[in-house]
């Protein structure tokens, strides 16, 4: 009876983690779009100060592009690391439930 409760508890935890993983996957495109829009607004607000240091439009566009791409890459790396840790935990819970069910 105690094993059944622990299996049910693990199954509930696994279901919650799967929902969280799906939520992360759905949230990625919107987050990237939000980051891009925020970057454009930020650049628009500080364009005069940056233009004074960089000189011409080509350098300004290059710096903005590098800044935007680096932010998106850092964001994607952190999301991938979070998703991989959730996947590992889901797999671990599944293996633990399988072992408990197999022993019953």
Q: List the domain boundaries for the chain.
A: 2-103
Residue 16 and residue 25: Cα distance in Å, rounded? 14
Q: Tell me the pLDDT of the chain (104 aa) as tens digits.
A: 566 788 888 889 999 999 999 998 898 888 888 888 887 787 777 777 777 777 777 777 787 788 888 888 998 899 999 999 999 999 999 998 888 887 66
Question: What's the pLDDT score for residue 104?
Answer: 62
Length of the chain: 104
């Amino acid at each position: 009876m105690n094993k059944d409760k622990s299996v049910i508890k693990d199954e509930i935890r696994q279901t919650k983690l799967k929902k969280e993983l799906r939520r992360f996957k759905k949230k990625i495109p919107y987050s990237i779009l939000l980051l891009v829009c925020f970057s454009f607004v930020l650049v628009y607000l500080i364009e005069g100060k940056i233009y004074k240091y960089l000189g011409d439009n080509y350098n300004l566009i290059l710096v903005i592009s590098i800044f935007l791409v680096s932010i998106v890459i850092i964001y994607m790396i952190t999301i991938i690391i979070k998703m991989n840790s959730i996947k590992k935990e889901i797999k671990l819970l599944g293996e633990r439930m399988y072992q408990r069910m197999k022993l019953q």
